A and B are shown apart, each in its own frame.
Chain A
């Protein structure tokens, strides 16, 4: 089955530590995204990538970093510079063209808790 795999599902981190969240897709999608969701709130865009070796900052990129070395993979690093990292992180992908069929497919999410 095609889809998006995020790991780990749950992650605990001590203050001052960096942590990397994995996101892999086998949908052959060009575009990939990272969103952050806080309780009772909508989705806020952290970073997105339209093509391999290229990515753009979203609305809340500070304290986060990404890479896009392969089409299938878009890992997110939450650095110690992120002041309030406890949240639910969602990875998504889309075809990435202007055909009108550009809808988002989400992974199951990674829940990060800073102790």
Chain B
């Protein structure tokens, strides 16, 4: 069945360094969503990508959707301690069900 794989599982960076997490699907996705979960918190929606090759930016965060719509990435430029958390990608099986990646846990050392 459809799976969404996410790497790396953990990433430790020094504050100011960049960070990237990658998401890969075994099948073409109609769209992909990204969520952030702060330690002890719940996932919060960040963004949705729909078009092939789409790139969206939110301040220091850049999201990309691959040309084949099978992979996606989230890049954070110059990380800050407020970026700490786990980042999940999610791809729909149908419009009402989502496969979640296993998440990338980001730790930022001040």
A residues contacting B by CB (< 8 A) are: 31, 35, 40-45, 48, 50, 58, 90, 94, 96-98, 100, 102-109
Q: Are B45 and A105 in contact (CB under 8 A)?
A: yes
Contacts of A98 in B (CB 8 A): 95
Tell which of B9, B88, B96 touches A94, judged by Cβ atoms closer than 8 Å. B96
A107 to B43, alpha carbons, bound, how many Å?
9
With A96-B96, A102-B95 given, is the CB distance from A90 to B43 under 8 Å? yes
B residues contacting A by CB (< 8 A) are: 6, 9, 31, 33, 35, 41-45, 48, 50, 88, 90, 92, 95-98, 100-103, 105
A106 to B41, alpha carbons, bound, how many Å?
10
Q: Are A42 and B100 in contact (CB under 8 A)?
A: yes
Can you give 14 A-B contacts (C-beta < 8 A)? A31-B96, A40-B105, A41-B103, A42-B6, A42-B88, A50-B96, A90-B42, A102-B92, A103-B33, A103-B45, A103-B48, A104-B33, A104-B98, A109-B42
For B94, the closest partner residue in chain A by CB is A98
For A97, the closest partner residue in chain B by CB is B95
Tell which of A44, A104, A107, A108 touches B35, judged by Cβ atoms closer than 8 Å. A104
Q: Are B102 and A42 in contact (CB under 8 A)?
A: yes
Contacts of B97 in A (CB 8 A): 45, 48, 58
Contacts of B33 in A (CB 8 A): 103-104
Q: Considering the complex of A and B, which 10 residue pairs feature the smallest CB-CB distances, nearest first?
A: A42-B102, A43-B100, A106-B42, A42-B100, A98-B95, A103-B45, A106-B43, A109-B42, A42-B103, A31-B96
Q: Are B88 and A43 in contact (CB under 8 A)?
A: yes
Contacts of A96 in B (CB 8 A): 96
Q: Are B50 and A100 in contact (CB under 8 A)?
A: yes
Contacts of B102 in A (CB 8 A): 41-42
Closest chain B CB from A77 CB (angstroms): 21
Closest chain B CB from A30 CB (angstroms): 9
A105 to B44, alpha carbons, bound, how many Å?
7
With A42-B100, A42-B103 given, is the CB distance from A107 to B95 under 8 Å? no
